[in-house]
Every structure is written in structure tokens, then in C-alpha cells.
Amino acid sequence: MAQLKFRNVTLGYERHPAVHHLTGEVAEGALLAVVGPNGAGKSTLFRGIAGILKPLSGAIDRDGRDTRDMAYLPQSADIDRSFPISVFDFVGTGLWRKTGLFGGFGKGERGSIAKALASVGLNGFENRIIGTLSGGQTQRMLFARVLLQDARVIILDEPFNAIDAKTSADLIALVRQWHAEKRTVLAALHDMELVRANFPETLLLARTPVAWGSTGNVLTHDNLLAARHMCEAFDDAAAPCSEKAPSRAA
């Protein structure tokens, strides 16, 4: 059963396409990596799936699911870390469908937030202001909010960038847990080794789809080289999909 269907979808900004003519299906319970050079359109695609961006043409069929029923984890750079909100309250926004945007937290909600924080190793961080967190701690916080959303479709945009190996391993374990629970998980990634080790299916994107299928068949040298050349045609500064894992910062 298809959880998502792309019907010749083109997505972009101010009539300038960033993803062209994508057609395909994501099965319910799939664990899909979306990879490609910088500028390949990965974030644009995820914004389209999450309903933040409307297609310029074509359609995205979500199998009748409202976009509010999806959990979307943006890149950490998209989070306003200057906003004076505590970790506890930020994670609690994952309960907005239950509490409303301005609803308070009762005993049950507070217990759920505390459990989510414990699940990602953030015990004792409840009262910290989000701007004081490290990169790895910020990602843990974002994953805790996704946990509270309890969604069947989870969209993760660069969830493992610039974090330490321990945090990455802990968060990959959560992704595996969601997959075991038959949730549909899509993640935009750069680390090909991580993709090969953990994601059975991959979409290689270079503004247009280069290859989509089993990870071993998609992540070939020829396909990665083709994706790089295709993106360079649009952006001379596009970074290649690297066979080597990117360096991590604590």
C-alpha cells in the first residue's frame, strides 16, 4: 500500500523549479533515504511532502492523510535558537494537536514530555533555553518533539548533520524503532555509509530523480557521478555525494 504518491511533481519557489517531474511511490512502513548533492532539491521535496510548499505542477497524494498528521523535523539551521523558550516547552509543542497551540500541559502531558526527553537522553535539560544547546543536544530535542507527535509519517531533513557519533547512534536507534513500528520514515542524508548501513531504500535526487530503489542498486559510482554532474549544470558550486562520511562536530 502506498503511503505517498508523486504524480509528475514539480516543486520550486517563485515559479523557479527546484525539483522536476518526480513520479513514484513510498510504501507504507518504508524507510527511505533521500540523497543528492547540495542544491539537489531534498529540502524542497520535504517541504512539499509536509504541505509547506505547494507543487508548481503535478500532485502529491498522501493517501488521505492530513499534513498535520505528519511529523516534520526541519534542519536545525531553520530553528530560531534566539527565541527564549525552554527545552521542555519546545518539545511540548509536539502535543499541539492534542492541547491546541495555546493549551497548557496537564499532568499527563508533562509526563509524556518528560518521557520523550528521557528517551533522547535529555534528562535534566528541561529548563535550559534552547539557544544554549549544542548541535547534538538540539537534534535530540527535535527528535523528542517528533516522538510526541506520534505520527505515522515522519520526515527528517538532515537529522544527523554536524553531530557527534554517540548522538548519531542514539538517534539512528530511534529511526530503527519507528521502522519496526511500521511507520513511514523519509530522511534527507549526505553520509553514504550511514545510508548503506541503515536504509534499505534510497532516492537519489539531482533536481530530477536519478535513481530510486534498493540502496545497493541506487548508490553506485556511476549514479553518484551522474547526480553530481546534473547538479553542477545548475550550480557550479554543488558539493558531490561523497563515498566518505562527512566530518562530525560535537
Alpha helix ranges (H) inside 96-233: 96-99, 107-119, 135-149, 165-180, 192-198, 215-218, 221-232
Burial class (CB in 10 A: 0-12, 13-18, 19+), 237: exposed
Q: How confident is the model at residue 101 (pLDDT cuts 50, 70, 90)?
A: low
In the predicted structure, residue 126 carries a pLDDT above the cut 80? yes
Q: Give the C-alpha separation, 87 to 108, whole Å.
A: 18
189: left (phi over 0), alpha (psi -120 to 50) or beta: beta
Helix, strand, coil percentages, rounded to 5, for the chain: 40, 25, 35
Query: Domain locations in the chain?
Result: 83-151
Residue 80: the pLDDT is 86
In the predicted structure, residue 226 carries a pLDDT above the cut 60? yes
Residue 197: the pLDDT is 96
Pick the more confident residue, 16 or 18.
Answer: 18
In the predicted structure, residue 235 carries a pLDDT above the cut 70? no
Average pLDDT value for the chain: 89
Burial class (CB in 10 A: 0-12, 13-18, 19+), 129: middle
Q: Give the C-alpha separation, 104 to 117, whole Å.
A: 18
Q: How confident is the model at residue 236 (pLDDT cuts 50, 70, 90)?
A: very low
Q: How many CA atoms lie within 13 A of 212 on its CB side?
A: 16
In the predicted structure, residue 240 carries a pLDDT above the cut 50? no
Q: Give the C-alpha separation, 190 to 38, whole Å.
A: 9
Residue 141: the pLDDT is 95
Residue 176: the pLDDT is 96
Q: How confident is the model at residue 211 (pLDDT cuts 50, 70, 90)?
A: very high
Grid-cell match 533536481, residue found: 207
In the predicted structure, residue 218 carries a pLDDT above the cut 70? yes
Sheet of 201-206, strands arranged across = 70-73, 153-157, 184-188, 31-35, 201-206, 208-214
Segment among 56-70, 136-150, 198-212 with least mean pLDDT: 56-70
